[in-house]
Amino acid sequence: MAHSEGLLGASRSPSSSGCAPTDGSDDDTGARWRQRVQRAKYYIPSISWMSQYTVSDLGGDVVAGLTVSSVLIPQSISYAASLGRLSPVAGLFSGCFPSIIYAFLGTSRQLNVGPTAAVSLLVGQALTDIRQSLPPDADWEKEQHGIGIAVATIITLQAGVIASALGLLRLGFIDVVLSKAVLRGFISALGAVIIIEQLPALLGLWATERVVRPGTNYEKIEFLWNHAFTSYHAQTTIIGFSTLASLVVLRRLKVVGARRFRWIRQVPEILAVVIVSTYLSWRYSWAERHDVATLGAVEVPAPSLDFFQHPMQRENIKYLRTTTSYALLICFVGFLDSIAAAKQSASRFRHSISPNRELVALGVANLAISCIPGTITAFGSTSRTRVNGDAGGKTQFSSLVSAAVVLLVTFFMTPLLYHLPKCVLASIMCLVACNLLEDTPKDLAFYIRLESYMDVVLLSLTFLFSVIWRIQEGIMVSIVLSLLLVIRKSSKPRISVMGHSRTSDRWEAVEDADSDVEEEPTSGILVVRIRENLHFANSAQLRERLRRIELFGAKHRQRHPSDARGRLHTEVIVFDMIAMNNLDASAVQILDEIIHEYTRQSVRIYLANLNHKPFKKLSRGGALERLGGEYVVSSVEEAMRAVGHHSGFSS
């Protein structure tokens, strides 16, 4: 017994009464356990909704999962076959496996992850580029399946690595890189490019397109102009445009009918059109009698040991370098679409999301599906997420339901798709494209109404580059334009001309104040407030901004550089630095140069309201030594008294 007490003596009370420890070890253990649970909820967000799941949530999630799957199945087939130029199975697998992984790791409770139009289009264009690089005598029809599997696999792997790395590096803020106007231009261009891509299938120009092999969007437009009116296939054209018209009418009827009957919103018009057109194609032998192209046999790999394969196979690696740029763009575009959908859902249903955790979840999902050869890259879909929320989805259990339905269809019902006309898939894609274009006129009118012509120019440039060249050039142009806008705005230091208020006896910014503010209390004196921290980006323009203020005063933004000087030569400049809390080495050097230039011109400089950190850096940089201690003052009023004017003002 004594031995036992000796071992536990450090954790026992000195009293021999056998009471509980009083050193707080139980409290510490409980706190550590709660902290670990909180950490686990952060890294595995599904713990939060699983621990709070109720029976009342189940009905909504099941209905939402079934509703989403009715949209997801035809979309997955269309995205993969029509845009991605891959097997329909590539889209179906992308519509189920990533959803399962995201359900446990994602922070959004309604986001549906799977193939999207933009990602599928970029994968298809990667395949087109590789096709263009093949020798003319290469049998593309024979090699397309193997090349498509390899390209899709390596792109998905790279996109997964990139997304995971961005999330781990906490770079989830990249969704703010593109301005609204640039993003609208890209989305509109995406819709236009999808229509250009799908018109050959809608018009039955498969054979002609195979011979001509147009590459860029401009070449495809030229191809359509030359062949659309002379080589179209009549039966295919009638079926395709009839299907598109039916989808438009059905969607409109849903909108009108939903005002009286809410259940009409759940009617899957796309799935209904696919089922009806497949039945009619089989019943009336459209392929045999009218030469209408159909989907044909869909090969589904049987579950076996070879079902999952390491993505770094030799046949995949050879396309690594040629597809890296596509993987980067796919990751960027896919994340923009995902985070936009997640934020809309979070705002609607009042829960929080983490962009960094979203990147990690999407990255892990794509890394996992890259082990299934040929699966197309998956990201969040705005339209399916909205459908999920409208149908009553409360948690990611709805994604698990839709994934299960897609899996069942993939393994047991794909033979029924044999007679599905390809022009029907093209019409579905055209409907998606029209949805992408429908907000463009409204946004353009909004920018014009606000006289925001720069936004109109940015939207137009992004649209034209994407449509005339290729979608990836459009993305690069949109990113560059957005970054240039950010740099342009951040490179202009926020400085204001200060004036003395006759009523409040204070110094206020002239452009922000009333008419009682005197811009230049005495000829030759200029009071300027620096309204932000200075750094290498914005301090470079400080000299030029000061020169314009010297020439034109507070209205310098409204004057042309060629206009005549609007004020007398400056004899004294007072810098009010009350809003500047820090500056970097580049800014210290530039301020030192400005002080040196003005002192050479016999212009006196006063630094007012200088905070501690800027004072310390300017002192170490030698600027204050050059200026002289008597020119560093505690307020603008003190500077004015030092100059000898407005001596009646109190400091």
Which residue type is seen at 104?
F
State the Cα angle at 58 between 358 and 113, rounded to 5°.
25
Rounded Cα–Cα distance for residues 623 and 3 (Å): 73
What average pLDDT does the segment 457-466 reach?
89
What pLDDT, on the 0 to 100 scale, is given for residue 378? 96
575 vs 27, higher pLDDT: 575
What average pLDDT does the segment 537-561 reach?
71
503 vs 220, higher pLDDT: 220
For the chain, give the mean pLDDT. Answer: 84
Q: Are 342 and 62 in contact (CB under 8 A)?
A: no
| Strand stretches in 341-484, DSSP E | 379-381
Rounded Cα–Cα distance for residues 232 and 204 (Å): 6
pLDDT digits (tens, 9 = 90+) for 382-400: 989 998 998 888 999 999 9
pLDDT digits (tens, 9 = 90+) for 156-202: 999 999 999 999 999 888 877 778 888 889 889 989 999 998 999 89
Rounded Cα–Cα distance for residues 250 and 431 (Å): 12
Q: Are 631 and 603 in contact (CB under 8 A)?
A: no
What pLDDT, on the 0 to 100 scale, is given for residue 138? 58
Query: Residue 90 belongs to what H/E stretch?
Result: helix 88-94
Among 164-178, 220-234, 500-514, 599-613, which stretch is predicted with the lowest mean pLDDT? Answer: 500-514
Enumerate the domain spans of the chain. 69-440, 494-643
What pLDDT, on the 0 to 100 scale, is given for residue 122? 92
- Any residues with CB less than 8 A from the CB of 148 and at least 6 apart, and which? 84, 85, 86, 87, 90, 127, 374
Confidence of residue 9 (pLDDT cuts 50, 70, 90): very low
* Backbone CA torsion sign across 482, 487, 490, 491: negative
- Any residues with CB less than 8 A from the CB of 234 and at least 6 apart, and which? 204
Give, rounded to a whole angstrom, the gap between the first and last alpha carbons of the chain.
Answer: 80
Of the chain, the percentage scoring pLDDT greater than 90 comes to 33
Confidence of residue 301 (pLDDT cuts 50, 70, 90): confident
What average pLDDT does the segment 105-128 reach?
92
Bridge partners, residue 575, by sequence: 528, 607
State the Cα angle at 77 between 74 and 79, rounded to 5°.
105
Residue 651 has pLDDT above 60, yes or no: no
Which residue type is seen at 229?
F
What average pLDDT does the segment 574-584 reach?
89
Rounded Cα–Cα distance for residues 573 and 611 (Å): 18
Q: Length of the chain, please?
A: 651
What pLDDT, on the 0 to 100 scale, is given for residue 376? 95
What pLDDT, on the 0 to 100 scale, is given for residue 17? 45
pLDDT digits (tens, 9 = 90+) for 333-371: 999 999 999 998 988 888 888 999 999 999 999 999 999
Rounded Cα–Cα distance for residues 135 and 133 (Å): 7
Half-sphere exposure for 249 (CA within 13 Å, toward CB): 7
Rounded Cα–Cα distance for residues 464 and 480 (Å): 15
Confidence of residue 139 (pLDDT cuts 50, 70, 90): low
Structure tokens at 88: 């329909």
- Classified as helix, coil or strand, 421 is strand
Which pTM value belongs to this model? 0.78
- Classified as helix, coil or strand, 45 is coil
- Any residues with CB less than 8 A from the CB of 190 and at least 6 apart, and which? 117, 118, 121, 433, 436, 466, 471
Confidence of residue 650 (pLDDT cuts 50, 70, 90): very low
Structure tokens at 68: 């989403």
50 vs 569, higher pLDDT: 50
Residue 16 has pLDDT above 60, yes or no: no
What pLDDT, on the 0 to 100 scale, is given for residue 155? 96
Residue 328 has pLDDT above 90, yes or no: yes
Helices (H) and strands (E) in the chain, counts: 29, 9
What pLDDT, on the 0 to 100 scale, is given for residue 252? 86
What pLDDT, on the 0 to 100 scale, is given for residue 558? 54
Query: Residue 508 belongs to what H/E stretch?
Result: strand 507-509
State the helix-helix crossing angle for 55-78 and 397-412, rounded to 10 degrees. Answer: 40
Q: Are 374 and 80 in contact (CB under 8 A)?
A: no
From the CB of residue 610, how many other CB atoms can be counted at a distance below 10 Å? 20
Candidate CATH numbers 3.30.750.24, 3.30.365.10, 3.40.50.970, 3.40.50.300; the one for domain 494-643: 3.30.750.24
650 vs 299, higher pLDDT: 299
Structure tokens at 270: 């796309």
CA 314 to chain centre: 33
Rounded Cα–Cα distance for residues 437 and 191 (Å): 6
563 vs 80, higher pLDDT: 80
What pLDDT, on the 0 to 100 scale, is given for residue 14? 44
State the Cα angle at 376 between 134 and 286, rounded to 5°.
80
What are φ and ψ of residue 296, in 5° steps?
80, -165
Of the chain, the percentage scoring pLDDT greater than 70 comes to 88
What average pLDDT does the segment 399-406 reach?
95
What pLDDT, on the 0 to 100 scale, is given for residue 158? 96
Confidence of residue 512 (pLDDT cuts 50, 70, 90): low
10 Å CB burial of residue 401 (0-12, 13-18, 19+) is buried
* Backbone CA torsion sign across 8, 12, 15, 18: negative
Q: Per 3-state DSSP, what percentage of the chain is helix, strand, and coil (rounded to 5)? A: 65, 5, 30
Rounded Cα–Cα distance for residues 286 and 277 (Å): 10
Q: Are 336 and 175 in contact (CB under 8 A)?
A: yes
Rounded Cα–Cα distance for residues 573 and 547 (Å): 12
249 vs 1, higher pLDDT: 249
What pLDDT, on the 0 to 100 scale, is given for residue 357? 93
167 vs 141, higher pLDDT: 167
Rounded Cα–Cα distance for residues 18 and 12 (Å): 8
- Classified as helix, coil or strand, 509 is strand
Confidence of residue 466 (pLDDT cuts 50, 70, 90): confident
611 vs 481, higher pLDDT: 611
pLDDT digits (tens, 9 = 90+) for 201-259: 899 887 787 777 777 788 888 888 988 888 888 999 999 999 999 999 988 888 787 77
Structure tokens at 62: 């099941």
Rounded Cα–Cα distance for residues 266 and 381 (Å): 18
What pLDDT, on the 0 to 100 scale, is given for residue 555? 59
Q: Are 204 and 235 in contact (CB under 8 A)?
A: yes
Query: Residue 162 belongs to what H/E stretch?
Result: helix 140-168
